[in-house]
């Protein structure tokens, strides 16, 4: 047991030994007392001398390197980018005016073993606030890596945050201008890596040779990533400076590119299938850069099938510093291919089209006889290749570009009907990274699916028929039949707007109660069936709190000719007029940006606001746009009111699966079109329609998680986790024992510091528990819990919430939970400790239920705000919500009684909705329920049960008045003072209950929980 709980020092010693004995690094010793630099000039000069450079060349090279590393007028990112360029390509030096320029290569990339790899520990950084990284990796005296280690009981997150704070200007930002990769690790969690300025949530874990389980994961992956060859390869071929963000690859991107490099060297086509959201664009950019550098005659053409994707690809490559030419026509494409430069082009695949060809086969054969149109070795990247791999277009493309290597990129697997032609064009899979792998690795989020049925019914068939006859008096039977065929059934026409209104209300409700939506950190996309429907939805949302915070983005662009022939003189709008009028009003105040239409300017504004300020752009309403492409906006919820299938459906639902902080555990899909089988189908192609031998790797099975099943698993796991966390607390596990375990001696700073990991774990576990509970709080029974289990879970959550506050108070600390506090406040208020019935300003200090009891239902309604009392449905919901809140608040006191009241409340609301009772009868019944809930007693309660405690016992003992009074008297007789929470004193009451309740231990525990909840005992 002496090896358990070793200090950080033990880990550090082992890692240093690993670098010395296994990786062949030189040990530079402890540098805590030295004047350290990120460029150790003696080491660098010594290496360059061994490479044959002169003293003058070396001096100038080091001077230029320092100048770039320490430029005070640039950011860390820009200094690091400049240093990287010198490290990768060499330093141009000119010793005197008469000599030619020479390039001093700081690193020998082609021969890793010929470089000087070294490691130092406790490298003190001075200059601003002093810091001391645990380990620093040097190549030829240049600091390229920093490692922060923690003991196995301390989170890797602490190491990551330490790395980030070290990079701040007020600490030691200067040191990181040469650093290419940073690591944080411990023996329990393994290793995470990033680069300069990488946010904590984007630190990555490596994955390779998973079957190898001999070493600590920390050691295993340091050996993998820091071997001399691998480390230089990662720095040379896999670093990307992308629009102000420095990036390193994930493991699947690295291995995907390595596999593609092999194909490229063999001039062999193939497909890279990396699931949606896993970073295909980075793979594309890094592979292109490698090809252009390693194949002097290579040229790359990137093809897409949509103009917006073509623009996006151009932007991604330019953002990474690559010069790319975007063709503007088919003629321009042919012209550019026919000359040696540019080497990197992007185009729409349709520009290969040829008009006016009568005999296509003969035309193809003729093309094959002609000299190749393209100059150089052509590599063709085809984005979303599942959409562009078949048909005459590809035959034409292959004929025009003989000898080209085609590499297809897709985020979805190939369906059976696509596969034959795809294999002809691209060949087999180069590398795959499937959806389940992405979820397991934490690269993308799992998806939660929820179908919501919006029932539609016809109010009165007779009235509909009468309306139709009145409106079609001048038509003959044939015309009437044609009109019916055009519009479908009248039921659909009459109920369509009503259905949309219900969906709008449903979405607005979600934004008020769903944790991530209500906190305004998340937003949503609604997919409408048509442009007309999208505009209708937009019109309806303008009448809600979404006014000014939602936008409609479709392919429609209003033109005057759209409505030239639409006027009927009937003082009503045709569909085309509605679209035109909606968009005209929408764009009225929009000033077009340079070279853009009003519509394009509006869409850019809405999309950017949606991405950058979710609180100010809550909802986008779309039809087809923004659902595909790597630059499409991400969201938390996707609402689908459109029939979709296959690739389009899978790409759309993956808008929600991107990572975005700890408060987004899943991507949520809400389906109003009953697409469940199609959603399953879109994802099950990973198994049912993919050749496993082609795809490679393990089974690609994917299961779309059922919301309630997944929710129950999360809640059970959260309860088990927090219980295990508290298990080591000494008996009798009261407040004092918990304080001792989580805080130690609160008067000793060292104790508080030593127990900090336990407290952090408790806080995080509490947040996870409350979130897990909130996801299914009002559907616990549907999730499979019994009523007894539900009550037990509520009590446990209440205890853990109280424990959390006790520990925070005892330790005198607060944890930064800003990202969670809004969620916690909402979840606790709504589900755990429901507040008193909502006070309405017109009532003064009198609650709504009090008013019903004291003054009657009519007076209570009269005191409601005007906006509520004018609408009978609003009145019903307001009263019901107040009653429900009271029931939740008081439920623990008397579960049987309040369960009965809850059933009555649901029953009377259902009767009202189904119009089984009149509104007047509803008010009568709801007032009766309100009075019983407020008083806490049913109308037929025996007179002898004159306290809340006696009534609670009576209700929970099956209405046995004698037994209730007997237990009440017994408890008052035997109960010790302050018995709650004291196990010994609680046992006195339980022992007295045993003979009364037939020695039934479970029944004793159940009734005891009722007794504890009563203030009179």
Min mean pLDDT across 82-96, 149-163, 638-652 is at 638-652
CA distances for 44 relative to 30, 41, 64, 95, 318, angstroms: 19, 5, 13, 19, 34
Min mean pLDDT across 492-506, 559-573, 819-833, 968-982 is at 819-833
Q: What is the mean pLDDT of residues 34-57?
A: 94
Residue at 909 is within a domain: yes
* Residue pair 757/154 in contact by the 8 Å Cβ criterion: yes
Reading the block at residue 494, the tokens are 């009459």
Give residue 638's Cα distance to chain centre: 12
Alpha helices in 914-1000 (DSSP H): 919-935, 948-956, 961-974, 983-996
Query: DSSP class of residue 19?
Result: I
255: pLDDT strictly greater than 90 = yes
783: pLDDT strictly greater than 90 = no
Boundary (domain end) residue, out of 892, 914, 935: 935
Residue at 941 is within a domain: no
Range from 69-83, 383-397, 537-551, 882-896 that averages highest in pLDDT: 69-83
Residue at 837 is within a domain: no
* CATH number, residue 509: 3.40.50.300
Question: What integer pLDDT is reported at residue 706 of this predicted model?
Answer: 61
Do you find a cis peptide bond into 394, omega within 30 degrees of 0? Answer: no
Q: How confident is the model at residue 361 (pLDDT cuts 50, 70, 90)?
A: low
Same-domain pairing of 645 and 772: no
Q: What percent of the chain has pLDDT over 90?
A: 29
Same-domain pairing of 298 and 426: yes
Min mean pLDDT across 101-115, 375-389, 622-636, 937-951 is at 622-636
Q: What percent of the chain has pLDDT over 70?
A: 74
436: pLDDT strictly greater than 60 = yes
The neighbour count for residue 215, using CB atoms within 10 Å, is 12
CA angle 160, 165, 170 (to 5 degrees): 170
Range of the domain at 884: 864-935
840: pLDDT strictly greater than 60 = no
Do you find a cis peptide bond into 331, omega within 30 degrees of 0? Answer: no
Same-domain pairing of 660 and 769: no
CA angle 295, 299, 300 (to 5 degrees): 115
Residue from 84, 106, 131, 76 nearest 248 by CA: 84
Residue at 440 is within a domain: no
The neighbour count for residue 712, using CB atoms within 10 Å, is 20
Min mean pLDDT across 390-404, 719-733, 992-1006 is at 390-404
Strand partners for 666: 446
Looking at per-residue pLDDT, the higher value among 820 and 178 belongs to 178
Boundary (domain end) residue, out of 629, 664, 687: 687
824: pLDDT strictly greater than 50 = no
496-524 pLDDT, tens digit per residue, is 667 788 888 888 888 888 877 877 788 88
CA distances for 492 relative to 500, 575, 788, 908, angstroms: 12, 16, 45, 29
119-130 pLDDT, tens digit per residue, is 999 999 987 788
854-891 pLDDT, tens digit per residue, is 555 565 566 555 545 556 666 676 677 667 766 766 77
Same-domain pairing of 270 and 161: no
Reading the block at residue 612, the tokens are 């950058």
Query: Can you give 400-434 as a three-state secondary structure string?
Result: HCCCCEEEEEECCCCCHHHHHHHHHHHCCEEEEEC
941-987 pLDDT, tens digit per residue, is 888 888 888 988 988 898 899 999 999 999 988 988 878 777 788 88
Q: How many domains does the chain have?
A: 6
Question: What integer pLDDT is reported at residue 686 of this predicted model?
Answer: 38
In sequence order, what are the residues at sequence separation of 6 or more whose Cβ sits closer than 8 angstroms to the Cβ of residue 899? Answer: 787, 891
478: pLDDT strictly greater than 60 = no
Average pLDDT, the chain: 78
Give the phi and the psi of residue 198 in degrees, each rounded to 5.
Answer: -70, 125
Query: DSSP class of residue 892?
Result: G
319-356 pLDDT, tens digit per residue, is 777 788 888 877 788 888 888 889 999 888 766 655 44
Q: How confident is the model at residue 194 (pLDDT cuts 50, 70, 90)?
A: very high
Question: What integer pLDDT is reported at residue 277 of this predicted model?
Answer: 74
Axis-axis angle for helices 961-974, 948-956 (nearest 10): 130
Boundary (domain end) residue, out of 791, 814, 837: 814
Q: Per the confidence metrics, is the pTM higher than 0.95?
A: no
Same-domain pairing of 257 and 234: no
Question: What integer pLDDT is reported at residue 825 of this predicted model?
Answer: 30
Strand partners for 182: 146, 194
525-549 pLDDT, tens digit per residue, is 898 888 888 998 999 999 988 888 9
Residue at 379 is within a domain: yes
697: pLDDT strictly greater than 70 = no
Same-domain pairing of 257 and 295: yes
Dmax over Cα atoms in the chain, in whole Å? Answer: 114
Residue at 850 is within a domain: no
Reading the block at residue 230, the tokens are 């691998």
Alpha helices in 812-856 (DSSP H): 818-827, 848-855
Residue with tokens 């990768």: 88
Same-domain pairing of 616 and 755: no
Same-domain pairing of 406 and 458: no
Residue at 233 is within a domain: yes
CA distances for 866 relative to 68, 727, 862, angstroms: 69, 54, 9
Question: What integer pLDDT is reported at residue 387 of this predicted model?
Answer: 53
Q: How confident is the model at residue 73 (pLDDT cuts 50, 70, 90)?
A: very high
Give residue 309's Cα distance to chain centre: 23
* Residue pair 124/31 in contact by the 8 Å Cβ criterion: yes
Name the CA dihedral angle for 61, 66, 68, 70, rounded to a multiple of 10 degrees. Answer: 180
690: pLDDT strictly greater than 50 = no
Same-domain pairing of 466 and 415: no
């Amino acid at each position: 047991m002496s090896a358990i709980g070793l200090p950080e020092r033990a880990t550090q010693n082992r890692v240093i030994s690993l670098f010395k004995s296994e990786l062949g690094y030189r040990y530079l010793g402890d540098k805590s007392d030295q004047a350290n630099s990120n460029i150790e000039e003696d080491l660098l000069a010594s290496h360059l001398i061994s490479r044959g450079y002169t003293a003058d060349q070396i001096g100038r090279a080091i001077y230029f390197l320092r100048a770039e590393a320490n430029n005070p007028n640039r950011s860390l990112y820009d200094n690091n980018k400049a240093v990287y360029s010198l490290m990768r390509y060499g330093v141009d030096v000119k010793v005197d005016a008469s000599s030619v320029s020479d390039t001093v290569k700081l690193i020998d990339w082609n021969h890793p073993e010929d470089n000087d790899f070294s490691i130092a520990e406790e490298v003190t950084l001075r200059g601003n606030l002093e810091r001391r990284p645990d380990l620093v990796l040097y190549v030829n005296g240049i600091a390229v890596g920093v490692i922060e280690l923690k003991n196995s009981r301390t989170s890797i997150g602490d190491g990551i945050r330490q790395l980030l704070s070290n990079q701040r200007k007020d600490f030691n930002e200067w040191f990181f201008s040469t650093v290419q990769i940073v690591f944080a690790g411990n023996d329990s969690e393994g290793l995470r890596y990033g680069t300069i300025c990488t946010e904590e949530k984007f630190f990555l874990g490596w994955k390779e040779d998973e079957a190898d389980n001999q070493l600590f994961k920390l050691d295993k992956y340091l050996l993998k990533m820091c071997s001399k060859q691998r480390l230089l390869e990662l720095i040379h071929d896999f670093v990307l400076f992308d629009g102000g963000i420095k990036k390193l690859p994930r493991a699947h991107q690295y291995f995907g590119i390595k596999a593609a490099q092999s194909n490229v060297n063999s001039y062999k086509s193939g497909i890279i299938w990396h699931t949606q959201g896993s970073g295909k664009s980075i793979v594309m950019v890094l592979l292109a850069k490698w090809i252009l550098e390693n194949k002097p005659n290579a040229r790359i053409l990137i093809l897409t099938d949509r103009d917006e994707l073509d623009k996006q690809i151009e932007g991604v490559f330019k953002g990474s510093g690559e010069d790319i030419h975007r063709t503007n026509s088919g003629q321009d494409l042919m012209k550019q291919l026919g000359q040696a430069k540019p080497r990197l082009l992007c185009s729409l695949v349709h520009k290969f089209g040829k008009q006016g060809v009568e005999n296509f086969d003969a035309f193809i054969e003729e093309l094959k006889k002609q000299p190749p149109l393209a100059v150089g070795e052509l590599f063709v990247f085809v984005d979303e290749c599942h959409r562009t791999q078949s048909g005459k277009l590809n035959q034409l493309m292959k004929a025009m570009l003989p000898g080209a290597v085609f590499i297809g990129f897709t985020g979805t697997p190939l369906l059976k009907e696509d596969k034959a032609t795809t294999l002809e064009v691209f060949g087999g899979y180069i590398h795959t990274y499937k959806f389940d792998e992405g979820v397991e690795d934490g690269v993308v989020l799992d998806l939660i699916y929820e179908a919501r049925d919006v029932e539609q019914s016809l109010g009165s068939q007779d009235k509909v028929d009468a309306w139709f006859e009145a409106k079609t008096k001048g038509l003959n039977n044939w015309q009437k039949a044609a009109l019916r065929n055009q519009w479908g059934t009248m039921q659909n026409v009459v109920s369509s707007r009503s259905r949309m209104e219900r969906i709008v209300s449903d979405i607005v409700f979600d934004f008020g109660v769903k944790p991530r939506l209500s906190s305004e950190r998340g937003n949503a996309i609604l997919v409408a069936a048509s442009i007309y429907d999208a505009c209708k939805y937009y019109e309806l949302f303008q009448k809600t709190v979404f006014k000014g915070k939602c936008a409609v983005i479709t392919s429609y662009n209003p033109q005057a000719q759209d409505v030239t022939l639409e006027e009927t003189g009937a003082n009503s709008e045709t569909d085309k007029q509605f679209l035109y009028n909606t968009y005209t009003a929408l764009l009225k105040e929009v000033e077009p940006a340079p070279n853009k239409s009003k519509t394009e300017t509006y869409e850019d504004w809405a999309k950017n606001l949606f991405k950058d300020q979710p609180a100010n752009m809550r909802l986008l309403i779309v039809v087809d746009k923004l659902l595909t492409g790597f630059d499409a906006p991400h969201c938390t919820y996707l609402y689908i009111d459109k029939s979709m299938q296959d690739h389009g459906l899978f790409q759309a639902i993956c808008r929600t699966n991107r990572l975005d902080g700890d408060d987004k555990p899943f991507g949520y899909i809400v389906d109003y079109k009953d697409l469940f089988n199609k959603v399953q189908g879109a994802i099950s192609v990973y198994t049912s329609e993919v050749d496993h031998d082609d795809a490679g790797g393990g089974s690609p099975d994917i299961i779309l998680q059922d919301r309630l099943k997944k929710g129950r698993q999360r809640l059970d796991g959260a309860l088990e986790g927090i219980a295990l966390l508290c298990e080591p607390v000494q008996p009798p596990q009261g407040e004092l024992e918990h304080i001792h375990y989580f805080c130690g001696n609160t008067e000793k700073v060292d104790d508080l510091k030593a127990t900090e990991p336990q407290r952090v774990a408790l806080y995080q576990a509490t947040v996870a528990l409350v979130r897990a509970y909130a996801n299914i709080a009002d559907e616990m029974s549907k999730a499979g819990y019994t009523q007894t289990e539900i009550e037990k879970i509520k009590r446990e959550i209440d205890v853990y919430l109280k424990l959390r506050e006790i520990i925070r108070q005892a330790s005198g600390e607060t944890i930064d939970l800003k990202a969670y506090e809004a969620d916690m406040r909402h979840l606790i208020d709504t589900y755990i400790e429901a507040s008193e019935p909502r006070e309405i300003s017109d009532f003064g200090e009198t609650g709504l239920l009090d008013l019903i009891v004291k003054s009657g239902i009519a007076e209570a309604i009269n005191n409601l705000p005007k906006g509520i009392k004018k609408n009978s449905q609003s009145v019903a919901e307001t009263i019901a919500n107040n009653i429900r809140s009271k029931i939740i608040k008081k439920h623990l006191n008397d579960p049987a009684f309040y369960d009965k009241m809850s059933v009555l409340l649901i029953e009377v609301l259902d009767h009202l909705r189904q119009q089984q009772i009149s509104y007047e009868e509803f008010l009568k019944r709801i007032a009766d329920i309100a009075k019983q809930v407020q008083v806490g007693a049913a109308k037929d309660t025996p007179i002898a049960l004159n306290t809340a405690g006696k009534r609670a016992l009576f209700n929970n003992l099956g209405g046995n008045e004698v037994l209730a009074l007997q237990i009440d008297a017994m408890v008052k007789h035997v109960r010790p003072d302050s018995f709650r929470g004291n196990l010994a004193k609680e046992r006195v009451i339980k022992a007295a209950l045993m003979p009364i309740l037939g020695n039934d231990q479970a029944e004793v525990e159940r009734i005891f929980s009722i007794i504890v909840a009563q203030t009179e005992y």
